[in-house]
Every structure is written in structure tokens, then in C-alpha cells.
Amino acid sequence: MLTRTTTTAETGNLWEACAMALDDVARRLRRITAALEEKSVPYAVVGGQAVAVWVATREPAAVRTTKDVDLLICRDDLPRARAAALSVEMDYFEVMGVGMFLERSNPNPRDAVHLVWAGERVRPEYELPSPSIDERRELSGIHAVSLPGLVRMKLLSNRDQDRVHLRDMIDVGLVERSC
């Protein structure tokens, strides 16, 4: 017998579901970064969350977020990073060559903490490696990749979402539009 699942939209709690999803990402980011700091593992927030942090320094209302967390760490620090993740109920997996921490309670790669190896090429065809772990800034208690490092990563990836992130940074005056 098939059972029909009631969707969030049908129950009228769509805004609440959106807010909860954003809160989940923020909680995941705070949990893993606090654990890494406790184990003295250097890291930098990269990707969409780093764009959100940088944009918020100029215009918080212009922030958009993503459903995952991307962190830059040194490959040599992976054993300590794994221990940190275990302390907050996250396990390490590699899926299609991408290292990630997955929540034990919800091991969905879409909701993972994705790892980017500092100083290494994200993809073999990329001309430049990812930033070094030293290319980070503290912004209101958050260790984020430097603005030049973030722009470089977005230009190298050049996916639709990366171009949107670059436009967001241009729109709030973090980056100048030039050739």
C-alpha cells in the first residue's frame, strides 16, 4: 500500500522550513569550526558560506546562503580534523574523490561539510591550487579565506553559482568589475 507524504508546502509551514534549513547550516558550521578550534586545526571557511560572510561585512541584507559548508584545511591535518569531527558526531567519508564530514544523524552528502585541501588543485584541470591555509582572515570570529583567495577560487570554478557569488561581491563593492 502506498502512503502519501504531506509536503511542507501543504502544511503551510514553508517559511518555517526555510528558516530551519538555514539554521541547520549555521549550526553545522558553528559545531565543526568550534571542534576544529578546540583541536587546534587551522581552517578557513570557503565557498558560498565565505561569500556570505564577506558580503555581510558590507551589506547583510544582500547575503544569500548555500545548504552546505566548505572548509579549507591542510591535508596533513586530516587526522586531527577527523578527531574534531568525531567529537561533534560527524564521520569522515570520501565520495567521488571529495573528502567530507557527514552528520551521523543525517548522512546526506548534500548537507555535508566538504573539505578543500589547502595549496592543492581542486580539479586537475585548474591552473592554480586552492589558497594556502595562511590566506585567511578573521571576520567577526569566523576564519574565512581571504577575499583575493575567494575570488580566485570562484574564478577557477566558474560554475553558474560561482558567477552569482562574484556578482554579489561586486554589487556590494567588495570587488571591482574590471578586465
- pTM, two decimal places: 0.87
Torsion of CA 72, 109, 155, 125, to 10 degrees: 90
Q: What is the mean pLDDT of the chain?
A: 91
Rounded Cα distance between 16 and 32, Å, is: 24
pLDDT digits (tens, 9 = 90+) for 81-101: 999 999 999 999 998 888 999
| Residue 1 binned pLDDT confidence (cut-offs 50, 70, 90) | very low
Q: What is the pLDDT of residue 12?
A: 64
Q: How remote is the C-alpha of 169 from its chain's centroid? A: 16
For residue 7, pLDDT over 70 is answered with: no
pLDDT digits (tens, 9 = 90+) for 19-57: 888 888 889 999 999 999 999 999 999 999 999 999 999
Rounded Cα distance between 24 and 156, Å, is: 29
Q: What is the pLDDT of residue 121?
A: 94
Q: What are the CA-CA distances from residue 55 to residues 52, 115, 166 (Å)?
A: 5, 22, 10
Q: What is the pLDDT of residue 11?
A: 55
